[in-house]
């Protein structure tokens, strides 16, 4: 480049590129970010001195785009893409190495590339902030929903306790007075139904954290092993392998033994139910300075995205009618919350689900 006119043309191309990149970023759809990055790549291609042979490669995080004829053996200018001051990718602009050298690039082109890389990093930062805000908002909405459900179920449980006790009490009195065997059998069915309903009420009260607890220092591993032994017939029925991994055999926590057993039973039983025959269930217990973590993973189909926020809600179940009340995980959630712990789930790799329960240390 020798003339002032040529230099002016190049400056115009560079300014046009910056303007177009800014417009793309301002109007970017965060859910279609790859299309925006591809548009930026072609803006860069047009801004270089020898635009007819210029090719661009851009990679950041999960996204990777390039112009049609980009080759990795090209002579290139490179600029790193930083997201929150951490290198998360790079953008390369190149010429064919058989005809061009590094000296064919302009100093201003490196400056332009650095500015575009900075803009891309800012775009990714805004997307991550938006995604984080959306996750936080969903968590707050779910927590609020579970809190409301807890209050409702506690009220329902208290209201049902008295009539159920009356039904059960009067039915027992009638069995002592009636001699007709068929009538006695009918009364026994009434009592069985009342007892079953009372158990449902207990589960509702567990979810609402209304049941009295007997908190004491307990050894976790013997309880885990006891639950696994209890479920061995179910494991054998589906030819499932259960592997155990404990950081220590002397892990202690403050808990209600019965409720802790119920948590472990429900979570492992759920893993068994959703596991395909011949697969593996893993129970992993980790201990840190601040908490005790129980991970139970299976190799089932996993939890669909649209159901992730519902799994701990009362009466929600994906099991067929008659195979589940939808109270198992909601009860587990209530127990863990009352122990000042938390429960989360995530996808297993390559398939399945991992439930993680965290309890604070003694």
Strands 241-246 and 280-287: parallel
Lowest-confidence region among 198-202, 261-265, 300-304: 198-202
Token output for 165: 């006790």
Into how many domains does the chain fold? 3
Q: Which domain holds residue 291?
A: 215-360
Q: What is the mean pLDDT of residues 77-97?
A: 93
Cα atoms in the Cβ-side hemisphere of radius 13 Å centred on 185: 3
pLDDT tens-digit map of 216-257: 899 999 999 988 988 898 899 999 999 999 888 888 999 888
What is the helix, strand, coil percentage profile of the chain, to 5? 55, 20, 25
Look-up of token digits 């127990």: 335
* Cis peptide, bond prior to residue 66, ω within 30 of zero: no
User: Which residue would you say has higher pLDDT here, 311 or 46?
Assistant: 46
What is the rounded distance in angstroms from the CA atom of residue 17 to the CA atom of residue 122?
Answer: 17
What is the rounded distance in angstroms from the CA atom of residue 146 to the CA atom of residue 139?
Answer: 10
From 207, 226, 248, give the residue that closes a domain.
207
Does 128 share its domain with 145?
no
Does 244 share its domain with 201?
no
Q: Is 344 helix (H, G, I), strand (E, B) or coil?
A: strand
From 207, 230, 256, give the residue that closes a domain.
207
What is the rounded distance in angstroms from the CA atom of residue 208 to the CA atom of residue 160?
Answer: 14
Contacts of 90 (CB under 8 A, 6+ apart): 58, 59, 60, 78, 79, 80, 81, 117
What is the rounded distance in angstroms from the CA atom of residue 37 to the CA atom of residue 24?
Answer: 9
Does 230 share its domain with 353?
yes
User: What pLDDT score does 203 carry?
Assistant: 62
The number of beta carbons lying within 10 Å of the beta carbon of residue 336 is 22
User: What pLDDT score does 326 carry?
Assistant: 46
Does 219 share its domain with 356?
yes
CB 190 within 8 A of CB 137: no
pLDDT tens-digit map of 326-352: 456 877 888 888 888 999 989 888 889
Does 57 share its domain with 112?
yes
Indicate if the pLDDT at residue 325 is higher than 50.
no
Does 192 share its domain with 251?
no
Tallying the residues shown for the chain, one arrives at 362
CB 285 within 8 A of CB 250: no
Q: Where are the alpha helices (DSSP H) in the chain?
A: 4-26, 33-47, 107-177, 181-207, 220-230, 232-237, 257-274, 328-338
User: What pLDDT score does 131 carry?
Assistant: 84
Does 240 share its domain with 335?
yes
Q: What is the mean pLDDT of residues 307-329?
A: 62
List the one residue out of 208, 102, 233 whose CA is nearest residue 150. 208
What is the rounded distance in angstroms from the CA atom of residue 40 to the CA atom of residue 58?
Answer: 9
Look-up of token digits 């802790």: 260
Does 185 share its domain with 292?
no
């Amino acid at each position: 480049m020798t003339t002032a006119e040529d230099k002016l043309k190049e400056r115009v191309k560079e300014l046009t590129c910056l303007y177009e990149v800014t417009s793309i970023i301002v109007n970017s759809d965060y859910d279609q970010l790859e299309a925006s990055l591809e548009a930026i790549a072609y803006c860069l291609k047009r801004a270089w001195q020898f635009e007819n042979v210029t090719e661009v490669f851009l990679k950041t995080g999960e996204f990777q785009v390039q112009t049609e004829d980009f080759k990795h053996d090209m002579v290139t200018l490179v600029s790193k893409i930083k997201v929150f001051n951490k290198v998360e990718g790079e953008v390369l602009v190149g010429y064919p190495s058989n005809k061009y050298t590094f000296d064919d690039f302009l100093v201003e082109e490196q400056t332009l590339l650095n500015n575009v890389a900075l803009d891309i990093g800012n775009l990714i930062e805004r997307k991550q902030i938006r995604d984080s805000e959306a996750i936080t908002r969903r968590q707050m909405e779910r927590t609020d929903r579970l809190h409301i459900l807890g209050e409702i179920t506690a009220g329902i449980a208290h209201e049902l306790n008295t009539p159920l006790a009356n039904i059960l009490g009067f039915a027992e009195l009638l069995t002592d007075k009636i001699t007709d065997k068929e009538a006695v059998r009918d009364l026994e069915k009434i009592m069985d139904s009342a007892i079953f309903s009372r158990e449902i009420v207990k589960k509702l009260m567990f979810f609402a954290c209304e049941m009295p607890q007997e908190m004491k220092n307990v050894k976790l591993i013997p309880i885990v092993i006891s639950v696994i032994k209890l479920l061995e017939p179910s494991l054998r029925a589906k030819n499932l392998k259960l592997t155990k991994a404990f950081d220590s055999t002397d892990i202690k926590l403050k808990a209600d033994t019965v409720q802790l057993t119920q948590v472990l039973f429900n979570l492992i039983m759920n893993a068994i139910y959703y596991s395909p025959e011949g697969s593996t269930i893993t129970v992993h217990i980790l201990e840190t300075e601040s908490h005790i973590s129980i991970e139970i993973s299976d190799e089932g189909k996993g939890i669909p995205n649209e159901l992730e926020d519902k799994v701990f809600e009362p009466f929600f179940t994906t099991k067929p009618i008659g195979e589940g009340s939808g109270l198992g995980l909601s009860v587990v959630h209530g127990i863990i919350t009352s122990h000042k712990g938390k429960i989360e789930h995530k996808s297993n790799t390559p398939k399945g689900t991992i439930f993680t329960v965290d309890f604070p240390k003694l």
